[in-house]
Amino acid sequence: MAGFFKKLFTKFSRSSRIDWEELEAELVAADIGIRRAMGIADQLKESKGLDAENLVESTREVLRRAFPSTAPSLPAPPEGKPLVILVVGVNGTGKTTSAAKLAHLLQKQGSRVLLAAADTFRAAAVEQLQSWADKLNIPICKGAPSQDPASVCYEAHTQAIREGFQYLICDTAGRLHTRHNLMEELSKIRRTLAKQDASAPHSTLLVVDATTGANALAQAREFHKATPLDSVIITKMDGSGKGGVAVAIMDEMHISPSFLGTGEGAEDFEPFNRDRYVDSLL
């Protein structure tokens, strides 16, 4: 919605007239979910003394309040054990990149982080994680080609415990055409991780691509059924997408974003902040 929304407000301001239909259509197109879009439009219509000028402020406030004041942060690593993070999502959303960026962020904060390449189905995915690991100097545990992803996670978990890592980040597979198998695979990974620490994985993060709009919401629904999600990482916030899908996921599933991907580089990753996010939408 970003640029267009601003233009729309400027147009309303100039003509001192709010075109409600146009506003509603733009809100719907922003992927924030139809119910929320209608709700905002209705709420604004009912507001007294609302003019085109303060429309932006009112919209910003409504969207801000859709999110908790503090975004979910990662729990602290348990005493003497690594905090295990499972990164899940459909191929192409930016899952591998986000796993590497998150590892980089934690490492910059002074933590010892191990990456696990558990998408053994795609050689390219393992190579890609390896190349990030080399570039960012992050230790990585890889399995043999086609090794059972759960067994790669188990080995990585063993290594992380033995070598005193504070975080283990597992990059998982995301092929959609064998959805049932994928969901089985994720369940197996969870069970396997729990063998060495009953509370692992401690955090499951779904990666969704902001440019895919309502599809991202559908993916969140699907994954949440198979593996309980703690939060979402919204990638490609720098892209052509409207980015509003975080609102739709929050509204429907009560799952807040924890991080945003804002580019292809290792530093293009930031903890979710509702004020900054809403500003970027408007």
Q: Which residues bind ligand GDP (CB under 6 A)?
A: 89, 91-97, 125, 128, 174, 235-236, 238-239, 261-264, 268
Q: Which two tokens stand for residue 202?
A: 């401690």
- Shortest distance (Å) from residue 125 CB to ligand GDP: 6
List the strands of the sheet with 167-171, edge to edge.
140-142, 113-117, 167-171, 83-89, 203-209, 231-235, 257-261, 269-271
> H or E stretch including 75?
none
Q: Which amino acid is at 248?
A: A
- Residues linked to residue 201 through DSSP beta bridges, in sequence order: none
Residue nearer to ligand GDP on the CB measure, 72 or 243: 243
Residue nearer to ligand GDP on the CB measure, 23 or 170: 170
Q: Which two tokens stand for residue 210?
A: 């902001």
- Shortest distance (Å) from residue 38 CB to ligand GDP: 30
Residue nearer to ligand GDP on the CB measure, 60 or 224: 224
- Shortest distance (Å) from residue 66 CB to ligand GDP: 22
Residue 61 has, within 13 A of its CA and on its CB side, a CA count of 8
Residue nearer to ligand GDP on the CB measure, 95 or 274: 95
Question: Residue with the closest Cβ to ligand GDP?
Answer: 261
Residue nearer to ligand GDP on the CB measure, 1 or 44: 1
Could you tell me if 98 and 87 are in contact, meaning their C-beta atoms sit under 8 angstroms apart?
Answer: yes
Q: Which amino acid is at 163?
A: E
- Shortest distance (Å) from residue 43 CB to ligand GDP: 31
Q: Which two tokens stand for residue 95?
A: 């899952």
3-state secondary structure of 262: coil
- Shortest distance (Å) from residue 137 CB to ligand GDP: 19
